[in-house]
Structure 1
């Protein structure tokens, strides 16, 4: 190393010089990052907390849809909160922490997240939306105000589609437990009567009653309608009911891919990534005008051509949305 009268001209090694330079840059870099954050806020970029109920595929696909839709705009950024990682006793502290961070909007994915946000976040101080929640009014009870995208297709819309898909159906059996779905039946019967259709109530209090009920009434039905119901619906029951209806040449209407694959002629199908994208658009709208109302979820109606052929049902070569031929 070069010296002058025994004194080093460059008292630091090359490595030490680089290290010193790095530490000189750190404060500048942190200042730059802080500046970028401030500039983003000044530019109107909103911060969204997406609270996810459980680590299951439909919810994760919905989160992907939210992220994908919002990544195409510079209006909002997303932070995902995995609610399933927090015990019930820890959730009040989680809520406090989220509120202190002053997100512009909180989005619940699934019923647990929905209940968490509405129980812990005051609507006057936090803008809240929900998605992928079936029958939200039964979770919070009457009198509560909430806004989002329920996992419910309005009964009148379902009947319109059923009438279009099975035009000769004049007597449709509805299999349900009145403890859970009496109100659905009443609404369905009311709207169906306007179309000249009779909804026949196939009421059960337990699954043991289903075989005798089908034996006594199924042959008089033009179609059988299965809806979400805690008593009636299980994988084994669904397969059994669809098989019995198929034997008697009665088409079945279901509400997800499992029904379709089990032999239903028609099934209402949700694409959860699309529902996430729909929720993202609702987020942007709510942030824009601070108002909100519930929206009908995006859905398709899959037609099972193989089942239609075996039931000797005529299916046109081309069909219009929301109808599609299933895989």
Structure 2
């Protein structure tokens, strides 16, 4: 396990260490559990990293299935579940979860790496790690790095993120930040909404919402429009920084895997949960300092120690 470099990583690292101590194999010495891992596509790096960490920590036999392999269609997985009869299923990605939710009858399901998990069909035996970080933490970080940014623009949709926007606005207001929102009903209207919004704000917060963006070109169009108006973009995926976003805050995939393993161990130990779906324990922060300087943005140099990666 790598040692932490930032305060955020330290907290996540301590959580994982405590979990490893609490759920040592000796606690389960009298029992052996069978665990099935369903990976939506093992070629996807974030899934791969989370699965690797999950399997390092769980001290029981694990059978891993790559649903990216065409041989594992729904009937084949159903037959496997019947034959294996696992005690717990760990799902990475939406494809894996939907298959497990349909065919797993008795075993608990733990999921991770799914955007907007609230849209999922859930059961009493469903647990997981959210792919979204606490909104208050993100806003606090934006303000910490860019203290002069007071008004942040957000496009959102009624179907997916309207309730999120209401909560985010409330938490931002408590920190002295104003979120200026515009509700979009169809992605073909994104550019027109964005053009009206940008003159009113200091920065734009690009959130995960399938109404706003489902293809790479749509991302490029949003980033290009913001760049042409010198508006910095905050977003949720580290790769967006290389395309021009100023600050990205994403989940840390290895930590997600370790956290999912901790949840699985708690489930098998029949622990009572206060929150069956947990926020991610760690994050990965990228600052595009080249773009910051290009825009002439004022930033807090003391905050650079909290950044995982700086693009110059």
- The equivalent residue for 1:208 is 188
1:299 touches 1:322 (CA, 8 Å); kept in 2?
no
2:100 corresponds, among 102, 105, 117, to 117
2:255 corresponds, among 274, 287, 291, to 274
- The equivalent residue for 1:232 is 212
- The equivalent residue for 1:108 is 91
CA drift at 1:223 = 0.9
Give the count of matched residue pairs: 277
Q: Distance in 1 between matches of 2:161 and 2:151?
A: 19
- The equivalent residue for 1:62 is 50
Map 1:224-263 onto structure 2 (within 5 A): 224-233=204-213, 234-263=215-244
- The equivalent residue for 1:194 is 174
Secondary structure in 2 matching 1:147: strand
1:300 touches 1:322 (CA, 8 Å); kept in 2?
no
CA drift at 1:179 = 3.0
CA drift at 1:225 = 0.5
CA drift at 1:264 = 0.8
Q: Distance in 2 between matches of 1:320 and 1:104?
A: 45
1:51 corresponds, among 38, 50, 64, to 38
Q: Is 2:300 the partner of 1:319?
A: no
Map 1:1-327 onto structure 2 (within 5 A): 44-57=31-44, 58-70=46-58, 75-84=59-68, 85-99=71-85, 103-122=86-105, 125-140=106-121, 146-233=126-213, 234-292=215-273, 293-297=276-280, 298-319=282-303, 323-327=307-311
2:148 touches 2:298 (CA, 8 Å); kept in 1?
no
TM-score under structure 2 length normalisation: 0.78
2:52 touches 2:257 (CA, 8 Å); kept in 1?
yes
Secondary structure in 2 matching 1:240: helix
Q: Distance in 2 between matches of 1:138 and 1:256?
A: 20
CA drift at 1:265 = 0.9
Q: 1:137 to 1:208 in 2, by over 3 A?
A: closer
Q: CA RMSD in A?
A: 2.6
Q: 1:318 to 1:168 in 2, by over 3 A?
A: closer
Secondary structure in 1 matching 2:308: strand
CA drift at 1:81 = 2.3
1:48-105, Cα deviation, whole Å (9 max, x unpaired): 22121224322222222222334xxxx3232212344332344433332232xxx342
Structure 1 runs not aligned, ≥5 long:
1-40
Q: 1:320 to 1:49 in 2, by over 3 A?
A: farther
Higher RCO, 1 vs 2 (CA within 8 Å, ≥6 residues apart): 2
Q: Distance in 1 between matches of 2:304 and 2:263?
A: 26
CA drift at 1:228 = 0.9
TM-score under structure 1 length normalisation: 0.75
Q: 1:88 to 1:159 in 2, by over 3 A?
A: same
- Which stretch of the first structure deviates more once superposed, 146-155 or 44-53? 44-53
1:154-190, Cα deviation, whole Å (9 max, x unpaired): 2222222222222222221102333322122222122
Q: 1:205 to 1:246 in 2, by over 3 A?
A: same
Structure 2 runs not aligned, ≥5 long:
1-27
